[in-house]
Amino acid sequence: MSLSDSIPNNVDLGSDKKLLRALEKWQPNFINWWMDMGPEGFQHDDIWLRTAVSVEAGGWAQYDYVRMPDYRWGIFLTPNEGERTVGFGDNATSKVWNEVPGELRGLLRRIIVTQGDTEPASVEQQRLLGKTAPSLYDLRALFQVNVEEGRHLWAMVHLLHQYFGRDGREEAEALLERRSGDPDKPRILQTFNEPTDDWMSFFMFTMFTDRDGKYQLAALAESGFDPLARATQFMLTEEAFHLFTGETGIDRIVRRSIEAAKADPNGDARGQEAIDLPTVQKWINFWFSSAVELFGGEISSNAADYFATGLKGRFREKKKYDDHQALEEVYSVNVIEDGRLTSREVPLRNAMNEVLRDEYIADCERACRKWNRTIKDLDFDFELKIPHRRFNRSMGIYSDVHFDLAGEPISNEAWEKNKTEWLPTPEDREYVQSLMKPCYERGKFASWIAPPQKGVHGMEIDHEYVKFQSEKN
Amino acid sequence: MTAISFETHPDRYKHWNLSVDGPLARLTMDVELRGGLRDDYELKLNSYDLSVDIELADAVSRMRFEHPEVRTVIVESAIDRCFCAGANIPMLGSSTHSFKVNFCKFTNETRLYIEDASKHSGQKYLAAVSGACAGGGYELALACDEILLIDDGSSTVSLPEVPLLAVLPGTGGLTRLVDKRKIRRDRADVFCTTEEGIRGKRAVDWGLVDGIAPRSKFDDAVKQRAEALAELSEYITKGPGITLDALAPNVDDAALSYRHVTVSINADKRTAELTVEAPTTAQPKTADEIQAAGADQWSLRAFRELDDALLRLRVNHGEIGLIVVKTRGDQAAVLASDQGLRDNESHWLANEILRLQARVLRRFDYTSKSFFALADEGSCFAGCLFELLMASDRSYMLLDDDEQVAVRVGPSNGDTYPMGTGISRLEAHFYADPNHVGQVLEIGEAIPTEKAEELGLITVAADDIDWDDDVRIAIEERVAMSPDSLTGMEASLRFPGPETTESKIFARLSAWQNWIFQRPNAVGPQGALTKYGQPDRAVFDYRRC
């Protein structure tokens, strides 16, 4: 089968010499990367995966057993809907760009490379998790997330190959050369160099970190660079599953935690090899505060540039806003002066990272309300909380001072005194790690997580989501 | 703005850490976010303002005098994944034109001092670029003997001034690319217009850096290169180092008073009078005496004071347009000081003092103020101080009947104090007739006014009847002219003869960078510097000038 036949696409790959030439070289390197850095120990097993083979309603989610290296990573752009115009910024109402405007090359390249770098990074961070999966259902979910992150890498690489010439090809290679946590060639953003080494962290990652991805993609889906807008729009359809995995995963941990606490003679979830809610809260604190960094500086000239040039808009820019110039308004940012919080008015465009962060936080709080509803429905007394955005920051204007969970500035002593209550301690990590034992029996779930409400795509919960072709130990 | 002091000490550094371990020193950049000169900008990502560069200049100087045993200086960053982001853009955006110009001039001089330390003191500089290195950050690296770049798949070196800010690299970056590192000019063109810069192997292939090393091996590679660099300089026993004590001048609105140097300010007339006094005690003759005299010896102290006075005049007294240069004291004492240093040129400290004097004299050449030297009664323009007369734009000499007023050319006026162009001030003065330089150098005795005029050493000889009026009118006439055209004119006339990398750097800085700093495309209401960090973008006037 020729390259163009094996790669599902709607970009007319077969007759695009430029793209074919670039992919002929890159695709084998991608497969090598996948074998090196993809899920370890499961490359020969049959996984019940969905594959996107077209952008039509029935085409983007076809389910079947696939060995991951044979997964058909494709290139899809959401179809054109008539003539679009740039939706915001200084170029608003002029026609969208179908080629890279020379004067915006540098900015666009930075956006695409930074986004692209996160996609393979998460696969690398999660590569060992299969060995301790709490169920076949979850193992499948992990691999589904992994192959789709791989496809999102393809989406960004397509843009680099198609629109950035030789430099784009080099950047596409570099996306495979940097490795998460590699001391020599780490990934660009620090969050993506932290290992995701337990399954609760995986659910936290898909809940919080991937959710940052959703908002970044949604902001880029508004872009005046049409190929970027259409690529990210299609990525968002896949991203939804990743977020679902995280949000429901945490819900299942919470559910099991309460069941275990009730069953335990001492009322201690840990006594039943489940995870107590205070520990779940610590994981939330850690992962939320790490993910919230990804939105960038609170007062940012880059953010203003991205908006002004029409390359990156707000969440639902077109639907939600009337003023697409955003030149007149200001945004109040709380800044630290002499150890105290005071409000500073910033031109709205310079606060676009903060505007996007607001949307994200509201979404996280919505999910948190759902978990609390679960707790309430199970008649248990505990409330999970999303920490304040200022809590535990290492970048941006809140990184110089410590803040408590409610976002109030606190002394170094108070921080040192409380941090073991707020963030995972080595002992907590050791405990959670001790629960990480594989549970590969059909329909069975590990002691620390409840089964999902239903199976995947109409299948039963005990469906054989992964067919092992070799012994697992 | 409150007056800026150029004196500091490693104990007070906010932005750098200086550590010395035998022949190896480390200058670690760790810029304090809110430690700048003003509080309306933050020094993010090791970006710098004048306060950062004052400390750097101090460190480079102390390394030579206080730690002469050092053979390699590693310039590095304390910040993970970031070496230095260059001059702070909001600071530039909100500074006056004259401040920007003087800031750039000072940073250029500091980088030239680094190269001078390598050339004349055997102190090699290694830039250990462990992360993003942009603009002035890369220019700092360019001033070092070698650049080692971390090979982490993302860190680049870059000069983004043109594509990002609509200005030019202001510390010699463009000139050093093609003249010092001899990078092919078409590649330099690509490099200087690619805002994200160039990383890894290509940076080596193009000659932008000397080597790359992966993160895990970076520290070892730095150490190895530092040791190899130390071997490059001829080994001479140096030291013990001396302590550069504080100059601590008395400063008020009307005067700067040092031990040997005085500046009196006449703000109404926009003039100042700079007086350097000759030594009044016996000067060291032997190496041991030079070593023992340390920072107290006149040759070092007086020129450090002159240096500090020039810097303060530039930055704190912008409105002063003309400086009257005077000397007072015994010519023989000045020449004795010169002689002691020349006789012991191979002694490390004598060498350092001569090099420092040469640098201070070049700082004088590059100062944008009119200098009129007045050789009047009691003056002592001899040897190293004769250079002040040669460096001035004009000289006036009192024609006295008893020939007490005289200047004196010494052996040091030959090649001890080269200008930035590489030739001596006498050679520049007599550019039409190189033979004449030799004749003047051979005179070897005091040259009274009439003779000095005949030899062409001075501009005007005036007797005591004409003196006061001639000098007064000349000064008043001068300070009434446009300061801009005077600056341009003086910079054009002061440097006849050949070009060097150094002279090109200053010429291009004054001509191009300072021009661009004034243009609407950079600083107009729609200009790129004005719009940096603002919600809307720059709009250019695309007509070429």
Q: Give B418's contacts (C-beta < 8 A, 6+ positions apart).
A: B358, B424
Q: State what percent of residues in chain A have pLDDT above 90.
A: 89
Q: How far apart are CA B217 and CA B214, in angstroms?
A: 5
Helix or strand holding residue A435 (H, E): helix A426-435
Please identify among residues 294-353 of chain A the ones whose CB lies closer than 8 Å to any CB of chain B. Answer: 301, 304-305, 307-309, 326-327, 347-350
Best of A305, A325, A338, A397 to substitute, by most chain B Cβ atoms within 10 angstroms, is A305
Q: Is the pLDDT of residue B92 over 70?
A: yes
> Could you tell me the two tokens for B374?
């007045």
Average pLDDT, integer, range A355-378: 98
Please identify among residues 3-32 of chain A the ones whose CB lies closer than 8 Å to any CB of chain B. Answer: none
Q: Looking at residue B65, what is its pLDDT? A: 97
Average pLDDT of the residues of chain A: 94
Best of A113, A171, A185, A311 to substitute, by most chain B Cβ atoms within 10 angstroms, is A185
Q: Is the pLDDT of residue B431 over 70?
A: yes
| B154 inside 8 A of chain A by CB | yes
pLDDT-based confidence at residue B220 (cuts at 50, 70, 90): very high
Chain B residue numbers with beta carbons less than 8 Å from the beta carbon of A178 are 152-154
The residue behind tokens 């610590």 is A282
Average pLDDT, integer, range B383-402: 97
ω into residue B240 within 30 of 0, thus cis?
A: yes
Q: Is the pLDDT of residue A378 over 70?
A: yes
CB-count exposure of residue A98 (10 Å: 0-12, 13-18, 19+): exposed
Q: Is the pLDDT of residue A195 over 90?
A: no
* Closest CA relative to residue A70, chosen from A16, A143, A178: A143
Higher pLDDT, A387 or B93: A387
What residues does each domain of chain A span?
3-467
Q: Is the pLDDT of residue A64 over 60?
A: yes
Half-sphere exposure of A300 (CA within 13 A, CB side): 19
pLDDT-based confidence at residue A473 (cuts at 50, 70, 90): low
Q: Give A343's contacts (C-beta < 8 A, 6+ positions apart).
A: A332, A333, A334, A335
Q: What is the CA radius of gyration of chain B?
A: 24
Q: Looking at residue B292, what is its pLDDT? A: 97
Q: Looking at residue A416, what is its pLDDT? A: 97
Task: Give Cα B398 to chain centroid, integer Å.
Answer: 32
Half-sphere exposure of B367 (CA within 13 A, CB side): 30
Do A350 and B535 make contact, defined as CB atoms within 8 angstroms?
Answer: yes
Q: How far apart are CA A354 and CA A333, in angstroms?
A: 8
Q: Looking at residue B236, what is its pLDDT? A: 72
Q: Are B75 and B127 in contact (CB under 8 A)?
A: yes
The residue behind tokens 């006789």 is B343
Average pLDDT, integer, range A80-100: 92
**CATH number 1.10.620.20 given to A3-467:** yes
Please identify among residues 455-494 of chain B the ones whose CB lies closer than 8 Å to any CB of chain A. Answer: none
Q: How far apart are CA A230 and CA A221, in angstroms?
A: 6
Higher pLDDT, A10 or B149: B149
Least confident piece of the model among A348-352, A467-471, B34-38: A467-471
Do A327 and B533 make contact, defined as CB atoms within 8 angstroms?
Answer: no
Chain B: residue whose CA lies nearest to A352: B535
The residue behind tokens 């193992």 is A139
pLDDT-based confidence at residue A1 (cuts at 50, 70, 90): low
Q: How far apart are CA A313 and CA A25, in angstroms?
A: 34
pLDDT tens per residue, range A153-175: 999 999 999 999 999 999 999 99
Chain A: residue whose CA lies nearest to B534: A301
Longest dimension (CA), chain B: 77
Q: Is the pLDDT of residue B440 over 70?
A: yes
Compute the 3-state secondary structure of chain A and give helix, strand, coil in percent, each to the nearest 5.
55, 10, 40
Chain B residue numbers with beta carbons less than 8 Å from the beta carbon of A336 are none
The residue behind tokens 């948190």 is A368
Chain A: residue whose CA lies nearest to B215: A184
Do A174 and B215 make contact, defined as CB atoms within 8 angstroms?
Answer: no
Q: Is the pLDDT of residue A47 over 80?
A: yes
Q: How far apart are CA B303 and CA B356, in angstroms?
A: 8
Chain A residue numbers with beta carbons less than 8 Å from the beta carbon of B153 are 174, 177-178, 185-186
Give the closest of B164, B216, B535 to A304, CB-based. B535
Do A106 and B195 make contact, defined as CB atoms within 8 angstroms?
Answer: yes
* Minimum distance, in Å, between the CA of residue B171 and any CA atom of chain A: 24
Phi first, then psi, for residue B376 (nearest 5°) are -115, -170
Q: Give A413's contacts (C-beta < 8 A, 6+ positions apart).
A: none
Q: Looking at residue A350, what is its pLDDT? A: 96
DSSP code string of A315-374: TTHHHH-S-SS--S-EEEEEEEETTEEEEEEEEGGGGHHHHHHHHHHHHHHHHHHHHHHH
pLDDT tens per residue, range B184-201: 999 999 999 999 999 999
Compute the 3-state secondary structure of chain B and give helix, strand, coil in percent, each to the nearest 5.
45, 15, 35
pLDDT tens per residue, range B323-351: 999 999 999 999 999 999 999 999 999 99
> Could you tell me the two tokens for B360?
């201070």
Domains of chain B as residue ranges with CATH: 10-232 (3.90.226.10), 250-481 (3.90.226.10)
> Could you tell me the two tokens for B314?
């530039």
Chain B: residue whose CA lies nearest to A103: B163
Q: Is the pLDDT of residue B525 over 70?
A: yes
Do A349 and B154 make contact, defined as CB atoms within 8 angstroms?
Answer: no
CB-count exposure of residue B446 (10 Å: 0-12, 13-18, 19+): middle
Q: How far apart are CA B466 and CA B463, in angstroms?
A: 6
Q: Looking at residue B1, what is its pLDDT? A: 55
DSSP code string of A191-245: GGGS---SHHHHHHIIIIIHHHHHHHHHHHTT-SBHHHHHHHHHHHHHHHHHHHH
pLDDT tens per residue, range A396-443: 899 989 999 999 999 999 999 999 999 999 999 999 999 999 999 999
Average pLDDT, integer, range B511-523: 90
Chain A residue numbers with beta carbons less than 8 Å from the beta carbon of B216 are 183-184
* Minimum distance, in Å, between the CA of residue B537 and any CA atom of chain A: 7
Q: How far apart are CA A112 and CA A86, in angstroms?
A: 18
DSSP code string of B320-363: --EEEEEEES-HHHHHHHHHHHHHTTTSHHHHHHHHHHHHHHHH
Higher pLDDT, A183 or B431: B431
* Closest CA relative to residue B112, chosen from B420, B507, B391, B428: B420
Chain A residue numbers with beta carbons less than 8 Å from the beta carbon of B534 are 301, 304, 347, 350
Q: What is the ipTM of this complex?
A: 0.84
> Could you tell me the two tokens for B398?
């009192």
Q: Looking at residue B514, what is its pLDDT? A: 86
Q: State what percent of residues in chain B have pLDDT above 90.
A: 92
pTM: 0.90
pLDDT-based confidence at residue A57 (cuts at 50, 70, 90): confident
Chain A residue numbers with beta carbons less than 8 Å from the beta carbon of B152 are 178, 184-186
The residue behind tokens 């941990």 is A253
Q: Is the pLDDT of residue A386 over 60?
A: yes
pLDDT-based confidence at residue B320 (cuts at 50, 70, 90): very high
* Closest CA relative to residue A348, chosen from A334, A333, A327: A327
Beta bridge partners, B127, equal B75, B147
Q: Looking at residue A418, what is its pLDDT? A: 97
pLDDT-based confidence at residue A261 (cuts at 50, 70, 90): very high
Chain A residue numbers with beta carbons less than 8 Å from the beta carbon of B535 are 304, 307-308, 326-327, 347-350
